Each structure stands twice: as C-alpha cells, then as structure tokens.
C-alpha cells in the first residue's frame, strides 16, 4: 500500500469493554511499532515487532495490553477491560527494520473510553 493504515480511525467504548485496534504496515517493512499519544503529549513506546523475533513488550503499561503480529504483515493491539486513562491516540509505525531508520506513521486510532 501507499502508507501505513490503521482502523478504526475512531473508537468510543465503555469502561470495562475490550477493544482491538488494527495496523497495516507498509509492504516489505519488517519492523512495526505501537505508540500511545495522550492529548498534548509526546509519543509513548508500547511494543516493537521485528520480523520473526520475539517482540519487545517493555512499553506495555499493564497486562491488559497485548499485541500480535502475523509474520511481517498486519498487527493488532488489544486492550482488555478498558479504563478511562486508556483514552488516547494509538499510533502505529513501520520501518525497514534497520536500527535508526525512519519510521512511517499511520493516521492513528483515537480511542475514547467513557
């Protein structure tokens, strides 16, 4: 595809519900990242996938957060039992996988937990 795509663009959910966010990286990009951006703040690293290596989950804020990636394609970020503090924009980025290479960001999913 032309760029990184994410769906849905907006998600409103009730506290306690589970949500699943999807990311389609640029074809051929082996590295995929998830970030969280709270209103007016910087990007908070969540998780990193590189090829078939074990993902770096060190940024996941709690065990309610999990992510999967099928090979070098689609990734899903799942948040279980959502809380109001989970409200944020969730950004996905992909890169060619070499350390320090430019990351291409998707448009993000705006999650609102009521």
Partner 1 sequence: GQQVMQIPQYQHVQEGEDFTTYCNSSTTLSNIQWYKQRPGGHPVFLIQLVKSGEVKKQKRLTFQFGEAKKNSSLHITATQTTDVGTYFCAGGNDYKLSFGAGTTVTVRA
Interface positions with partner 1 (CB under 8 A)? 31, 35, 40-45, 48, 50, 56, 91, 93, 97, 99-100, 102-108
Residue 19 vs 91, nearer CB to partner 1: 91
Nearer to partner 1, 41 or 83 (CB): 41
CB distance 77 to 67 below 8 Å? yes
In angstroms, give the least distance from the CB of 41 to partner 1.
6
Look up residue 56 and give its DSSP letter: B
* Residues in CB range of 9: below 8 A, 6 or more apart: 107, 108, 109, 110
Classify 51 as helix, strand or coil. coil
Nearer to partner 1, 25 or 108 (CB): 108
Provide the minimum distance between the beta carbon of 67 and partner 1 in the complex, in angstroms, as a whole number. Answer: 15
Other C-beta atoms closer than 10 Å to the C-beta of 113 total 19
> In this structure, what token pair is assigned to residue 31?
């590295």
- CB-nearer residue toward partner 1: 14 or 99: 99
């Amino acid at each position: 595809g032309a760029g990184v795509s994410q769906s849905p663009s907006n998600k409103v959910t009730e506290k306690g519900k589970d949500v699943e966010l999807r990311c389609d990286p640029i074809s051929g990009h082996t590295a995929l990242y998830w970030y969280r951006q709270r209103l007016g703040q910087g990007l908070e690293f969540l998780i990193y996938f590189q090829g078939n290596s074990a993902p770096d989950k060190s940024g996941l804020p709690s065990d309610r957060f999990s992510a999967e990636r099928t090979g070098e394609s689609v990734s899903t970020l799942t948040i279980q039992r959502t809380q109001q503090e989970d409200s944020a924009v969730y950004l996905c980025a992909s890169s060619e996988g070499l350390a320090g290479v430019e990351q291409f960001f998707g448009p993000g999913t705006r999650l609102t937990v009521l």
